[in-house]
Structure 1
Amino acid sequence: MRRRLDLAGALVVRPRILFLDEPTTGLDPRSRIGLWDVIRSLVADGTTVLLTTQYLEEADRLADEISVIDGGRVIAAGTPNELKTRVGGHRVVVILQHPADAERAAAVLARHGEGTPTVGDRGRELQVAVREGPLARQRVLAELTAAGVALHDAGMRRPTLDDVSLSLTGALPAAPRGRRAQ
């Protein structure tokens, strides 16, 4: 309630520039989405909103330009898509029905991707960066099917702003480049 009152007080004067510091901290999902709508409406009406947030999904949905800060310094800036592209393009993601198939699946992903596939979710989820996007996904799925690897799910994924932040701050290695897809 206190956050809502603070925001309402700031909006009474219809500011040209509005600074919001972590505005959705502590809000339930419905209230957070409602606040996002208010922010979008303010921007559409010409208000410049400077938003600080650690919720990168929020930045992705609301921001036209993003600055990534680490250790008090701006280490990267750009649109959400520019920052995501900087980390790497598409990734093929497969979720196996049986973790025992992980080694065979990793070999297939390595042939079609760039770098070493990562393995998560108790050995069931594998992913690798790819240059050719949907074409690489089709090839991976065909080869996995031919190899008898049963999948629970498969798809394409672009990096999130969380991936960008972790990569840029050194907490996660950037997607390997230079190795061409086969």
Structure 2
Amino acid sequence: MSARPPLPYEFLPQVPSFELTSSDITDGGVLPKEFAHGGGNLSPQLAWSGTPAGTRGFAVTCFDPDAPTGSGWWHWLALGLPADTTELARGAGSSDGSLPGEASFHARNDFPGHRYDGAAPPPGAPHRYAFAVHALDLPALDVTRDTPAAQIGFHITFHTLARAVITAEYSS
């Protein structure tokens, strides 16, 4: 069996981390079916603390590095979250109205949808889903709802002060 692709954050400039927890998923654990595309398709609850001084906003993403595309698969891009945000409730990925703040929005994922779309790996080996909260040095990225996910990732990278990640696996 070939080695699994690294998580994308292993190639990016190193930044500090902070505390990220979830009542729904465990780092290194199995993603429950209710958070899979063919299950409930709910985004998991995420809570964070200990972000650095200077944090002016947040982005939350979910990425599958194991997708058979050569470039992974973006499942969720929640952007424009206010600096005082410390949690997203279960299901917050369902619509823009579920996100905190007036300027927050979901960018187009790779399904494509403007929301969270859960795990949907092809049959076989489990895939990893990296749920990341990015503490940003500005309140909003210069992107739109339809900016390609890779381009949004570029903007996130250059404005990240700190990042926290929980990774869970799912197989169909």
TM-score range, shorter chain: under 0.3
- TM-score w.r.t. structure 2 length? 0.23
Structure with higher Rg: it is: 1
- TM-score w.r.t. structure 1 length? 0.22
Greater RCO structure (CA 8 Å; 6+ sep): 2
